């Protein structure tokens, strides 16, 4: 049933001229799923098949993806896998050691490696400048947070050295911790200083205060918007009485803090031994019946803890989900909740006819 039976793929041409193929025997569940995953062009179909797939480390190469002969080649006592497993900072130190005064390279090897080492140092330096000095070079892109992926794209643009380009960024600070804002702003300013124009659609205060010119649209949303309320420097926006943005920037309007906090239900959910990605086998207690915020700098493990471990684990318990959850020992206190709902930023609906009314059930009797 799983792997099918012996047979062969038969190719034929249909009456419409299309080349088709079929398996002469029973294909089997696993070969069929692998074929569909390989041939489909639909991201939705691919994501659906991935629910039944699990990534495992190869027992032969132990995840190194290279033959022993390739791993036997070392530079400075380290092979390519060992260098790739270093952080950006450690890699920079390794490269600097090869080109420094106490280099192990011969004079001829230094001449050959000079341009290569210079290029490596330059690209690693871009990653360090955007605050990604802690990540390892071989880290899978799927495990990067939104802020990390965005800063890698920006580092790539800095490395390209292009001039006279108009860069458009749509809310680049979404998902970024305030501590990471200055790195992002510094990167954008560096792109600007190369002779480019940076156009940012944003409502983050730090980004607005760093901008050379601001265009404030409004005054409201929907049919109440669509007008240019104010333009100019930060001071111009703050002095505009018609600008709601300016009123908050100047301090005329403020968001008050709540006078008291909810006591909650007294119960809690405890995640024991969370160790997926960069989590260090931690125990986390989350009180129930409260407004709980999980915060931290970009890449600190917030999404891994909540989305990859807690949500997927609870979805398995409540809805028999087949998605593989992140590694943890146990989740205690599940009996205190009835269901779990993940409200993310994925598109609503699955057809072009989907809209807020159909999604929320407004017209459903």
Distance of CA 100 to the CA centre of its chain: 36
Angle 263-266-271 from CA coordinates, rounded to 5°: 115
* CA-wise closest residue to 345 among 151, 148, 175: 175
Q: Are 172 and 202 in contact (CB under 8 A)?
A: yes
Structural domains for the chain: 9-50 (no CATH), 68-129 (1.20.1580.10), 161-250 (3.40.50.300), 265-365 (3.40.50.300)
Q: Specify the pairing of strand 227-232 against strand 268-274.
A: unpaired
Q: Are 35 and 52 in contact (CB under 8 A)?
A: no
**Average pLDDT per consecutive 10 residues, the chain (365 residues; last block may be shorter):** 81 83 82 86 85 81 85 88 89 84 81 88 84 83 76 80 87 76 83 91 90 92 90 93 90 89 92 91 95 86 91 92 88 94 77 78 76
The reported pLDDT for the residue numbered 350 is 66
The reported pLDDT for the residue numbered 349 is 67
The reported pLDDT for the residue numbered 297 is 80
Q: Helix (H, G, I), strand (E, B), or coil: what is residue 63?
A: coil
Residues 6+ apart with CB under 8 A from 134: 87, 88, 89, 299
Measured CA to CA, the distance from residue 101 to residue 194 in angstroms comes to 32
The reported pLDDT for the residue numbered 32 is 85
**Cα Dmax for the chain:** 82
Residues 6+ apart with CB under 8 A from 125: 92
The reported pLDDT for the residue numbered 293 is 92
The reported pLDDT for the residue numbered 107 is 85
């Amino acid at each position: 049933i799983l792997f099918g039976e012996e047979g062969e793929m038969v190719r034929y041409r249909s009456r419409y001229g299309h080349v088709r193929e079929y398996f002469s025997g029973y294909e089997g569940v696993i070969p069929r799923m692998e074929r569909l995953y390989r041939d489909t062009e639909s991201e939705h179909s691919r994501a659906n098949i991935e629910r039944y797939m699990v990534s495992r480390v190869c027992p032969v190469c132990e995840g190194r993806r290279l033959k022993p002969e390739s791993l036997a080649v070392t530079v400075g006592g380290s092979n390519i896998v060992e260098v790739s497993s270093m952080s950006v900072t450690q890699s920079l130190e390794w490269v600097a050691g090869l080109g420094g005064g106490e280099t192990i390279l011969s004079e001829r090897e230094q001449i050959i490696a000079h341009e290569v080492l210079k290029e490596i140092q330059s690209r690693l330096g871009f990653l360090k400048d955007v605050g990604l000095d802690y990540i390892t070079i071989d880290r899978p892109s799927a495990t990067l947070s939104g802020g990390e992926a965005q800063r890698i794209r920006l580092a790539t643009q800095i490395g390209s050295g292009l001039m006279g380009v108009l860069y458009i960024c749509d809310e680049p600070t979404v998902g970024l911790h305030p501590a990471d804002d200055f790195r992002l702003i510094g990167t954008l300013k560096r792109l600007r200083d190369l002779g480019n124009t940076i156009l940012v659609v944003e409502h983050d205060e730090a980004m607005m205060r760093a901008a050379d010119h601001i265009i404030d649209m409004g005054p409201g949303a929907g049919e109440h918007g669509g007008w240019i309320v104010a333009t100019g420097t930060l001071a111009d926006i703050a002095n505009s009485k018609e600008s709601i943005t300016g009123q908050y920037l100047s301090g005329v309007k403020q968001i008050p803090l709540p006078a008291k906090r909810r006591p909650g239900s007294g119960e809690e959910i405890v995640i024991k031994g969370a160790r997926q990605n960069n989590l260090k086998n931690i125990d986390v207690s989350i009180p129930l019946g409260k407004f709980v915020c999980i915060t931290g700098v970009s890449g600190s493990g917030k999404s891994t803890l909540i989305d990859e471990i807690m949500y997927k684990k609870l979805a398995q318990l409540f809805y028999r989900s087949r998605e593989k959850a992140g590694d943890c020992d146990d989740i205690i206190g599940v009996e205190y909740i009835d269901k779990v709902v993940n409200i993310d930023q994925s598109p609503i609906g699955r057809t072009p006819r989907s809209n807020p009314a159909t999604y929320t059930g407004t017209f459903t009797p």
